Amino acid sequence: WIFEKRIDAPLVAPRMLTHGPLLATNVATLFVGVGMFANFLACSYFVQTPRAVAGYGFTANVLEASVVYLLPGAAVGVVAAVISGRLIGSFGPRRVLVGGAVIGVLGFAFVAVAHDHTWQLITAGIVINTFVSLAFAALPNLLMAEVSAAYTGVANSVNSIVRTVGTSIASASLSTVLAMFTIDGTNVARESAYTAAFVAGAVACAVVAAAALAIRSTPAARQSVRVAESEPNTTSNVPL
């Protein structure tokens, strides 16, 4: 960090990491990654839990978990990604990200209190995947609105790393919680551990919404491309 601040053409400009709107966007990205993997892993493990042993779960095999419980949400997520462009063009990426985060909170809150039936897990997965698709569509637009065209690649690369950090945190944390809190005499996680994971997902979505609301200087998506293209193509600093 100290070295990069002293050279004229840093690999990643330090101001890109500390500028308010960019920092808020990366914070939102971190927690989108947390929410995405909290849903994916918790749902996968939950539905494969043997009900006869744990008193919850659906005793699904890997194929059933993928096709019955995860595929519907993934399919709807693709549709949401397709229409996200129009939503961003009409309302701007910031509003789309806030709206998507609210949808994510509702999805996680629902599955935290209602997970006894198959349709409940499927419905929650559809809602949460809609949030993930909308968020991933909005975030690059928020980044491009804050940097020149010369820096869009660097900004998106840093953002991708941040997202990976978020998914890694969620994966490691969830695996640890499920291994620590087990039913006595078994290696099966307690139902409360999954409930806590879903609540954590809701909290992550709430943080995404808060971070998005903190982004004040971002223009609408239609204007963001023009702003980026109108900036001088320089590699010595980040125009903010």
Per the prediction, the chain carries an average pLDDT of 86
Q: Judge contact between 88 and 223, C-beta under 8 A.
A: no
Q: How many CB atoms lie within 10 A of CB 35?
A: 31
Q: How confident is the model at residue 4 (pLDDT cuts 50, 70, 90)?
A: low
Q: What is the pLDDT of residues 158-167, one digit of tens each?
A: 889 999 999 9
Q: How confident is the model at residue 192 (pLDDT cuts 50, 70, 90)?
A: very high
Task: Please give the Cα distance from 90 to 45 (Å, whole number).
Answer: 38
Q: What percent of the chain has pLDDT over 90?
A: 70
Q: What is the pLDDT of residues 117-159, one digit of tens each?
A: 999 999 999 999 999 999 999 999 998 888 878 778 888 888 8
219: helix, strand or coil = coil
Q: How confident is the model at residue 2 (pLDDT cuts 50, 70, 90)?
A: low
Task: Please give the Cα distance from 119 to 236 (Å, whole number).
Answer: 54
Choose between 229 and 96: higher pLDDT: 96
Which one-letter DSSP state was computed for residue 151?
G
